[in-house]
Amino acid sequence: MVQVSAGLEGVIAAATVLSDVDGQAGRLTIRGWAVEDLAGRARFEDAVHLLLDGFFDDLPADLAPALGQARVRAFAEVAALDAALVAREPYDAMRALLARLPDGDGVHDALALAAAPAVFTAAVLRRQNGLEAVAPDPALPHAADFLRMVRGANATQGEARALDAYLVTVCDHGLNASTFAARVAASTRAGLGSAVLAGLSTLKGPLHGGAPGPVIDMLDAIGTADNAVPWLEAALDAGERLMGFGHRIYRVRDPRADALKAALSRLSKGAGALPGRLALAEAVERAALDILRRRKPDRPLETNVEFYTALLLEALDLPPEAFTCVFAAGRTAGWIAHAREQQASGKLIRPQSVYVGPRPRAAA
């Protein structure tokens, strides 16, 4: 009997220089950097450079101005944001605009794609609020400009730093579902735009990139720390999964949760309602971990990246319906690097299936 590996669990489908997820030790290495060190010191531009280095002969040494120009190029497509797209979910509208970018393989194509989710997300959010889209300022760092395009006003340095920490933390993560999808598209020799669209479509679901919005819904529904245990027990009794917990690879705490919690603590110093929200989240996290350990003693289920993603993006005044767009704004850099790495291997990804349907009928 042929064994099918459900969900390709345990299958090694690529060799990569880009990132290593050590699920037993709870470590994430991105091109030689521990994620918590990278998130604490790198801007998004630095992470993009780190990932793309060696995959393009003409990659500029300083990516900040090149990404700024790439935002300007992407913004030209915002004119195509019509009423039908504005009526869609932000993620769908952002993805539709991104599909308008050229499907090439050059460094200009790569940088336009890396810059585009920030530009399109900001434009879609503003248009959905009845406001004009704000053009990029190519002189600003990427994260600061992203927040400025959303708000129509400059963010503080601390806010831009927090968004940088987020984008860097999520920029790459081994062969996750969306990165695998991007590599499959790239293996057919489709362009980088196609690879990014494959990644975007795969990131959307709640088991992958769509979890942080529901984390906010959960915190809002719980409301107070006292209500955490009964609410969580009732959700599990109803057969629901707790968003922000569990992972295919990590059997211990996801190191990205701590990288984001550190960014959140830096941001929360003296910031309005945030310390109270963080205290509620910590109480919910403690209760959820206790309950999951009791209910699933054989399956370690720990906090994943999405739990603190939700809190950090909420603290930056980004609306929950755009959280997956912001995730994509970071992860696109990883998809592009993986697509280039896959193209260089030259091998089409084409696994096999086992047929379990009916045998051919005898012809009459």
Catalytically active residues are 247, 306
Which of 211, 311, 316, 328 touches ligand COA (CB under 6 A)? 211
Number of residues that bind ligand COA (CB under 6 A): 17
Contact 314, 263 (CB under 8 A): no
Closest distance of CB 250 from ligand COA, Å: 9
C-alpha 75/C-alpha 101 separation (Å) is 10
Per-residue binding string, ligand COA, 291-310, x by CB under 6 A, is: -----x--x-x--xxx----
C-beta closer to ligand COA: residue 245 or 323 = 245
Show contacts with ligand COA in window 233-262 (CB under 6 A).
241-248
Contact 152, 131 (CB under 8 A): yes
Closest distance of CB 11 from ligand COA, Å: 13
C-alpha 189/C-alpha 136 separation (Å) is 32
Residue 306, φ and ψ in degrees, nearest 5: -70, -25
Go through 72-83 and write b for each residue having 16 or more CB atoms within 10 A of its CB, e for each that does not. bbbbebbeebee
Show contacts with ligand COA in window 188-207 (CB under 6 A).
207
Per-residue binding string, ligand COA, 91-110, x by CB under 6 A, is: --------------------
C-beta closer to ligand COA: residue 88 or 241 = 241
When CB distances to ligand COA are compared, the closest residue is 246
Residue 258, φ and ψ in degrees, nearest 5: -75, -35
Closest distance of CB 149 from ligand COA, Å: 27
C-beta closer to ligand COA: residue 90 or 246 = 246
C-alpha 113/C-alpha 125 separation (Å) is 19
159 binds ligand COA (CB under 6 A): no
- Give me the amino acid identity at 302: E
C-beta closer to ligand COA: residue 43 or 208 = 208
Distance (Å) of CA 30 to CA 110, 139, 251, 260: 19, 27, 19, 16
C-beta closer to ligand COA: residue 205 or 276 = 205
C-alpha 269/C-alpha 271 separation (Å) is 6
* Binding residues for ligand COA (CB under 6 A): 7, 207, 211, 241-248, 296, 299, 301, 304-306
